Structure 1
Amino acid sequence: MRSFKAFACAAAQACLPPRTGRTSRGVRLLGLAALFAVQCAHAASQDTWDFSIERAPLERVLMEIARVSGQPMSFPSGLAKDLFAGPVRGTMSAQQAAEQALKNSGLQLTTLTDNTLTIVDAPEAPRDIGTLPPAEVRARMGSDFAAFTTGSITHIETPITSVPHAVSTLTRELLTSQNAPTMADALALAGVSSMSLDPSAAPRYATRGFMTGQISVDGQPDKMAAVRPIEAVEDVSVIKGTLADIGGAPTAVGGINANLRAPTAAPQRTVAVEIGSHAERKAVVDLAGPIGSTDLSYRAVALQDTTANSDSGYAGRHKSYGLAALGWHDAATEVTVGLESVTSRQPMPPATFALNGAPVRLAMQSPLGNADDNVQSRASRAYYKVSRNLSDDWSLHSRGTYEALTEQSALWHTALVVNNMAPTSTLNFGDRSNNTSWAISNELTGSFAHGPFQHVLTFGWDEFQERQDMVFAATPFLIPQNPFAPVQLPPATFVPGIQVSQSVRQSVFRVRDQAAIGEHWELSGALYVNNYIAKLPLAQLQGSPWTPSLGVLYKLTPHTAWFADYSRGFRLNTSYFDPCQALLPERSRQLETGLRWADANRALTMQAALYRIDAHHVRLVDVAPAGYDTQIAHQSSEGLEVSMQGAVTKGLDTSLWVALSRVSGTLITGYLPQAPFLSGAVWTTYTMQAGPLKGAGAGIGITGQRGAPCYGDTPFRMPGFVRVDTSLFWHQKSWSVDLFARNLFNIRAYGNAQSGNFIPVQPGRTLTLRVTHNF
């Protein structure tokens, strides 16, 4: 059989008349041009590509096929709206991949005269809607700040308009644009407040007035959140409800889930360098791509971050981080295995105490102990993720992780405030904790139709095991110190003393059903059973509580939905020891209703929610020493939250969160812990879209909250603040330059506190210059 090239050449030659001269040469040139076009079209249709595209909106899947293959693709905006496709995996041509994505969509693939692929309704004949330039094929859709689907609730990618409770997602682009130094700073845009309760303790996160010390990673409990750099995270979702299959049993306010950078089949190579205040030097390398021509892919992230000093006058920080992950997939299976490792040295954070009803203004560059006071951490984590498609509708998922974390502090603690008098001494106080844990989650997910109902089912089993060992200092060493005129103290030392241990095992069984009724109604229900045993130093707790959750959603329009949910929550309050008794588990219930809107052009989302949470046996962390926790018998929280994410207009992107809240509850001492009545955060950027400065722009962020009453030896009021952050940038295809200024006006702002003995002070003005190269 003759090859296609020989056949095309013969056909072109046969079309030429047997003449010579200028006309003959012109015709031959036309014939050669036609031959070239035919060859290119044939080659484009026959070339194969390695596709690994997860389930997502159909428009996004088609654009990813165009991006990977370079195949021009054009279709009317809105034709594929509200349709989902995928996963698309395997080695195939662009046309085959597109046809796979369009399966059961009611649409069909056709080819225009210029070899551009387009989609039309199945009964219709194709019509020429124009050619999409190659540059547009590779352009991102919508806004980089907005997320229109979420996979954090279940393994099935779900449109946010079908989620029956409030959810906020911080995309990778938003995290990069804001350049928040820590996860705690980034979470402010999702309505989460960080609380540093002790200089040697990891920050906790308050959502709707309730705290958690844990952030899940890839749906698994995680201990490294406080030391893992934000550059290793792909995105963060805050699910403000208990209808989420992350981290095991549901809690009063849902959960926080971060997704790590994962292996990708598309090559990606990024190197970023930062310099900044306090002689900061940071280097980040992020590499990903296929391994040869196999179905293997990889991801490698490395970071080195150091500073010479800190805001509080102590020595600087040091952090080293590495991630290596390997992925493999075929048409029905996807496997990821990875390792993480991090070492960290953090200085004493800036802090003060309260006197006469207000925080005391101390000199920032005058350490109250020794300049070398620090907290050192070392952690490692191994994990895997496996997904297997049993059929077009049913899948199996399994995730597992093993983690080891060691933290040790050696620093001087300011003595407690007594009788509204300033402390006159400091204590050489330290501790060391060793945490090991492992977790396995297995899920069966599927969908089926039953009459007018379209069901999405999840059956899950989670197993968590954790052991904690705490070593306290033998005998704290006391030295006089005047906090208003401090002197340099000798280096702090840690001498091991008493050791306590505890272990916790939890087996969580869960089932969820989300049913769509027609085009407007969606119902969801979930049931969790948590069988737990907590062996504490002074007691043993065990039980098998049942926690149900119910949700309803009504789509007013294809892009506007009203939702409401009722849920129960349960959380173990495991503390190393308490002076009197073990802490009882926290039990809660939440009522929530709200509205959510996503525009048809997939550029902007808005959300508003009203909520009320009632909880019993709420854990309240005292300042020092670690482990002496107490409880609030009953606490309630109610409020209104409003958020917006996406592109307001072309080039103008924003992320906004504002809340009105009220928290009530009484301690044994009679004090009433509160939360700021009004708080919010916004980050907005504008990027030039054309001209010689295309890609240049600026960003501005405002974070603020009203003052709130707090408790302590003498009740005091935490003052409110408004902090302004800015950036200037110039982004091009292969490089970008960003200049950031946090706390531009260098205001004195305080962090959230639970005691007048330790009040964090936010850093002053810091400048950072970042240069990034993509290759």
Structure 2
Amino acid sequence: MKKKLARKPAAQAAAAPAQPVRLLPLGAALMAGGLSLSAMAQDTATPAPKEKALSAVTVNATTEAPPEDGYRATATRVGKTLQDPHDVPQAITTVTRSLMEEQQVGSLKEALRNVSGLTFNAAEGGRSGDNMMLRGFYTYGDIYLDGIRDTAQYNRETFNLEQVDVLRGAAAMLFGRGQAGGVINQVSKTPMLVDRNRVTGSVGTDDYRELTGDFNKVLGDTTAVRLNVMKRDEGSWRSNPATGTEPEIHREGAAASIGFGLFTDNELIVSHQYLRTDDNPDYGISFDNATHKPTKRFDESDFWGIDQNFDESETNISTVTHTYRFTGKTQLRTQLRYSNYKRAYWASAPSNTVAPSDRGNAPKTRKSDTDNLVLQSDFSTEFNALGMKHELVTGIEYLHEDSVRWGLLNLGTNARPYYSSSVVNRASASKYEGDTYSVYAQDSIEFVKDWKVVLGARRDFMDAEYSAVRSPELKFNENSYRAGLSWQPSEYAHYYLSWSDSFSPTADLYQLSGGEFPPERSDVVELGAKFMFFEGDLAFRTALYRATKDWERNNDLESTASILTRKRRTDGLEFELAGRITDKWEVFAGLALMDSEILKVAVNRNATTGVVTSANPNFKGERARNTPTYTFNFWSTYALGNGWKVGGGAEGKGERYGYNPSAGGTAAFNPNKAPAYVRWDAMVAYEQPKWAVRLNLRNLFDEVYYDAIYDNGGFTVPGTRRSAILTTEFKF
């Protein structure tokens, strides 16, 4: 069946090797954190004969590259084991490499335009960088790289990504502390047992230039090395009328990895990723205080930044991943990662009354230096007990975080400020240092044929010191749970009911929190169905959910309040389609309908007087900020023959609110509003086995639309106007 063949790559990765292997000393050291789990494997796993002459041998012997997924992903690890997304009893959206390449995606933000129910926040208050909302809830604490927390504030790129998995709903049982919206997991490219090289060069309007390279070289029967590189520069259609300054993007990166024992019982991958950014950030335009719409006093193309503004970052991430397979169904996977994130920025905020000038406006500055160390070990096995089939996943994790943040020191005057990324205001330093210890276990039990129940629990112990809150010593011991019921009457249909919860103390994200309030708690109930059509080539899913969050914290360090809402909720309905309708016709589409509501307004305590105040009671019953009633995305391509392919699609969002839900008073609810929009894109390509040329057109009808909104309501950022990118690709 085609569907079984589609699952074959995932099976290959989990399969036993075709030849004997040797235990590597470094791999043995990494296994130390999970040795007690291997003893459990001997007691619980059902012995299974090792498979011989599987596809791994075929792959080693061929010069052809392994098959690509197209728009429908066939493997994901967001459930801690390698699975087909169709089998996971929770909503998952996967943006594949094929989809990103056809759309000429460079940044993670651009890739996530393909995720329905997701909106973008404009940078402010120290939360600049990738900053998204999913199902109406923040995700800045829920971004991961290969299953490891990646919450530092920077702008991520896709040049080294195989795919992006979005697991919707509370996921603390699998990933630790987090929000109600879901988890965004970036999946890195890894070495392959086939020689394959790819170079692309792109040029476009607004000074767009990009060069990428993906080089994979086989060094032995089970050893390979892979190198990915990227350099991209972009200008903008917006500019400062006084100086001609434009928002700019300048980014470069390199990622190298080497794999030993690939597709064997004893696999070791060592990797390092480097990313450098040097941008001139765009904070958009202000809202009009009278109309509560984007201001008309200035043109949409006006930019308040100046040449001296900057957003500089340097990211280094080193990872060692060891996988030991006891049998075809039992494995131990251990990851050790050290990462360092440096970032400094000086941005000019827009104004509704002051025109752009050569002096900038309302400077926003920040510098941060973050070190993270993570040891994570996951053990999975399958066995039979009490007449039932069990799929057990259990693991441990240690996370050490050490970060310091400063404001930058003004080297000029208030009339003409000037900042340098190397000169900080020492008096403004805020420090965070935390240790988190976690243990979890989950069992998926097939209690009768085609019916499974999923039960999981996790315990997180967090001990942290934070210099910028009223209770500098923060200790939390929290439980998280996951439960689900699945019915798969055939390999093409899956019905499920799931419940999951999460918690977040939020101090690690540099939110104003303090110890006098309990941590954020969320829970999500989801009823869903997943179907396969055309023998597995086309996947369709739908989900009906209710997500509730208590004690929602503020994400803006410049705010005087710590609690945004006491309780709020999003009820939603989602539809998604991904895959091939015919051999020539592919489609990826999503629709999310969201009904969000504030159920209880904020309660805050004055840091000096201790007086407790409540937010404006008129906020109760109103829609949450930056949560439109609908979002949708659509992309489709068709191969015309003789190498020609055409494609196109649209991305749209409903009206979004921006306001401060913790504000006091009794004024009527009248928030700033970013209007609804639809952006159309198109693509035409000519593809040959060794080379290709592709033309991408963005915002085909040249509409003015507002891409991101500062959720406290001060400003909104216009999206790109009509632009064109021409890409040439060579394979060898």
TM-score by length of 1: 0.77
Find the counterpart in structure 2 of residue 655 from structure 1: 588
Q: RCO greater where, 1 or 2, for CA within 8 Å and sep 6 or more?
A: 2
Quick one: which amino acid aligns to residue 691 of structure 2? W
State how far apart, in whole Å, the 2-side matches of 1:109 and 1:290 are: 20
Per the alignment, do residues 600 and 141 of structure 1 end up closer, same or farther by CA in structure 2, a change over 3 Å counting? farther
State how far apart, in whole Å, the 1-side matches of 2:480 and 2:399 are: 18
Find the counterpart in structure 1 of residue 30 from structure 2: none
Name the stretch that deviates more: 322-331 or 705-714. 705-714
Aligned: 1:162 with 2:97: no
Aligned: 1:180 with 2:115: no
Counterpart pick for 1:254 among 161, 176, 182: 182
The Cα of 1:365 is off from its aligned counterpart by: 4.4
Per the alignment, do residues 773 and 492 of structure 1 end up closer, same or farther by CA in structure 2, a change over 3 Å counting? same
The Cα of 1:619 is off from its aligned counterpart by: 2.5
The Cα of 1:543 is off from its aligned counterpart by: 1.8
Find the counterpart in structure 2 of residue 590 from structure 1: 524
Q: The residue matched to 1:349 in structure 2 has which SS?
A: coil
Q: Is the 8 A contact 1:321 1:342 kept in 2?
A: yes
Find the counterpart in structure 2 of residue 496 from structure 1: 424
Higher alpha-carbon Rg: 1
Q: Is the 8 A contact 2:217 2:224 kept in 1?
A: yes
Aligned: 1:318 with 2:239: no
State how far apart, in whole Å, the 1-side matches of 2:445 and 2:196 are: 39
Unaligned runs of 5+ in 1: 1-55, 65-81, 93-102, 111-116, 119-133, 481-488
Q: Residue by residue, what CA displacement relative to the aligned partner does 1:66-111 show, whole Å, maximum 9, x if unpaired? A: xxxxxxxxxxxxxxxx99995253469xxxxxxxxxx989x9999x
Find the counterpart in structure 1 of residue 548 from structure 2: 614
Aligned: 1:528 with 2:458: yes
Name the stretch that deviates more: 140-149 or 436-445. 140-149
Equivalence map 1:399-438=2 (5 Å): 399-414=335-350, 426-438=361-373
Per the alignment, do residues 547 and 476 of structure 1 end up closer, same or farther by CA in structure 2, a change over 3 Å counting? farther
Unaligned runs of 5+ in 2: 21-46, 240-244, 603-614, 664-669
Name the stretch that deviates more: 603-612 or 731-740. 731-740
Counterpart pick for 1:152 among 78, 82, 86: 78
Q: Is the 8 A contact 2:261 2:267 kept in 1?
A: yes
Q: The residue matched to 1:202 in structure 2 has which SS?
A: coil
Equivalence map 1:712-731=2 (5 Å): 715-731=671-687
Q: The residue matched to 1:426 in structure 2 has which SS?
A: coil
Quick one: which amino acid aligns to residue 504 of structure 2? R
Q: Is the 8 A contact 1:282 1:306 kept in 2?
A: yes
Per the alignment, do residues 517 and 660 of structure 1 end up closer, same or farther by CA in structure 2, a change over 3 Å counting? same
Find the counterpart in structure 2 of residue 44 from structure 1: none
Per the alignment, do residues 647 and 475 of structure 1 end up closer, same or farther by CA in structure 2, a change over 3 Å counting? same
Find the counterpart in structure 2 of residue 327 from structure 1: 259
Per the alignment, do residues 376 and 325 of structure 1 end up closer, same or farther by CA in structure 2, a change over 3 Å counting? same
Q: Is the 8 A contact 1:470 1:576 kept in 2?
A: no
State how far apart, in whole Å, the 1-side matches of 2:361 and 2:401 are: 34
Q: Is the 8 A contact 2:546 2:570 kept in 1?
A: yes
Quick one: which amino acid aligns to residue 333 of structure 2? H
Name the stretch that deviates more: 437-446 or 708-717. 708-717
The Cα of 1:363 is off from its aligned counterpart by: 2.6
State how far apart, in whole Å, the 2-side matches of 1:437 and 1:400 are: 11
State how far apart, in whole Å, the 2-side matches of 1:384 and 1:109 are: 28
The Cα of 1:139 is off from its aligned counterpart by: 9.8
Equivalence map 1:175-574=2 (5 Å): 175-191=100-116, 192-198=118-124, 201-213=128-140, 214-223=142-151, 226-242=154-170, 247-249=175-177, 251-291=179-219, 293-307=220-234, 311-312=238-239, 313-314=245-246, 316-329=248-261, 331-355=264-288, 356-361=291-296, 362-414=298-350, 426-474=361-409, 493=420, 495-497=423-425, 498-537=428-467, 538=469, 539=471, 540-574=473-507
The Cα of 1:558 is off from its aligned counterpart by: 2.8
Quick one: which amino acid aligns to residue 488 of structure 2? K
Find the counterpart in structure 2 of residue 59 from structure 1: 5
Name the stretch that deviates more: 184-193 or 584-593. 184-193
Quick one: which amino acid aligns to residue 217 of structure 2? G
Find the counterpart in structure 2 of residue 52 from structure 1: none
Q: Is the 8 A contact 1:656 1:683 kept in 2?
A: yes
The Cα of 1:265 is off from its aligned counterpart by: 1.1
Q: Residue by residue, what CA displacement relative to the aligned partner does 1:377-413 show, whole Å, maximum 9, x if unpaired? A: 1111110110001234321110121111111112333
Q: The residue matched to 1:176 in structure 2 has which SS?
A: helix
State how far apart, in whole Å, the 1-side matches of 2:659 and 2:560 are: 19
State how far apart, in whole Å, the 1-side matches of 2:648 and 2:134 are: 24
State how far apart, in whole Å, the 1-side matches of 2:341 and 2:698 are: 31
State how far apart, in whole Å, the 1-side matches of 2:545 and 2:418 are: 49
Quick one: which amino acid aligns to residue 195 of structure 1? N
Q: The residue matched to 1:358 in structure 2 has which SS?
A: coil
Size of the alignment, in residue pairs?
Answer: 651
Q: Is the 8 A contact 1:597 1:605 kept in 2?
A: yes
Quick one: which amino acid aligns to residue 162 of structure 1? D
Per the alignment, do residues 225 and 470 of structure 1 end up closer, same or farther by CA in structure 2, a change over 3 Å counting? closer
Find the counterpart in structure 2 of residue 8 from structure 1: none
Q: Is the 8 A contact 1:613 1:638 kept in 2?
A: yes
Equivalence map 1:653-732=2 (5 Å): 653-665=586-598, 666-667=601-602, 668-669=615-616, 670-671=618-619, 672=622, 673-674=624-625, 675-688=627-640, 690=641, 694-711=642-659, 715-732=671-688
Q: Is the 8 A contact 1:310 1:347 kept in 2?
A: no
Q: Is the 8 A contact 2:174 2:458 kept in 1?
A: no
Quick one: which amino acid aligns to residue 90 of structure 2? H
Aligned: 1:764 with 2:721: yes
Q: Is the 8 A contact 1:227 1:342 kept in 2?
A: no
Per the alignment, do residues 149 and 319 of structure 1 end up closer, same or farther by CA in structure 2, a change over 3 Å counting? closer
Q: Residue by residue, what CA displacement relative to the aligned partner does 1:245-278 show, whole Å, maximum 9, x if unpaired? A: 7543454233111110101111110011011122
Per the alignment, do residues 521 and 422 of structure 1 end up closer, same or farther by CA in structure 2, a change over 3 Å counting? farther
Equivalence map 1:11-30=2 (5 Å): none
Q: Is the 8 A contact 1:266 1:289 kept in 2?
A: yes
Q: The residue matched to 2:180 in structure 1 has which SS?
A: coil
State how far apart, in whole Å, the 1-side matches of 2:155 and 2:560 are: 20
Counterpart pick for 1:733 among 649, 672, 689: 689
Q: The residue matched to 2:124 in structure 1 has which SS?
A: coil
The Cα of 1:493 is off from its aligned counterpart by: 4.7
Q: Residue by residue, what CA displacement relative to the aligned partner does 1:419-474 show, whole Å, maximum 9, x if unpaired? A: xx779993334221111111111122111012431111111111111122111134
State how far apart, in whole Å, the 2-side matches of 1:319 and 1:231 are: 11
The Cα of 1:663 is off from its aligned counterpart by: 1.1
Quick one: which amino acid aligns to residue 394 of structure 1? T
Per the alignment, do residues 737 and 86 of structure 1 end up closer, same or farther by CA in structure 2, a change over 3 Å counting? same
State how far apart, in whole Å, the 1-side matches of 2:380 and 2:466 are: 36
State how far apart, in whole Å, the 2-side matches of 1:384 and 1:199 are: 34
The Cα of 1:609 is off from its aligned counterpart by: 0.3
Q: Is the 8 A contact 1:143 1:604 kept in 2?
A: no
State how far apart, in whole Å, the 1-side matches of 2:383 and 2:105 are: 43
State how far apart, in whole Å, the 1-side matches of 2:16 and 2:563 are: 51
State how far apart, in whole Å, the 1-side matches of 2:632 and 2:181 are: 18
The Cα of 1:499 is off from its aligned counterpart by: 1.1
Q: The residue matched to 2:98 in structure 1 has which SS?
A: helix
State how far apart, in whole Å, the 1-side matches of 2:153 and 2:649 are: 24
TM-score by length of 2: 0.82
Quick one: which amino acid aligns to residue 168 of structure 2? K
Per the alignment, do residues 228 and 626 of structure 1 end up closer, same or farther by CA in structure 2, a change over 3 Å counting? farther
Q: Residue by residue, what CA displacement relative to the aligned partner does 1:491-511 show, whole Å, maximum 9, x if unpaired? A: 655652221111222111100
Per the alignment, do residues 576 and 594 of structure 1 end up closer, same or farther by CA in structure 2, a change over 3 Å counting? closer
Q: Residue by residue, what CA displacement relative to the aligned partner does 1:609-665 show, whole Å, maximum 9, x if unpaired? A: 00001111113333x748976432111111100000011223110111101101112
Name the stretch that deviates more: 271-280 or 426-435. 426-435
State how far apart, in whole Å, the 2-side matches of 1:410 and 1:752 are: 19
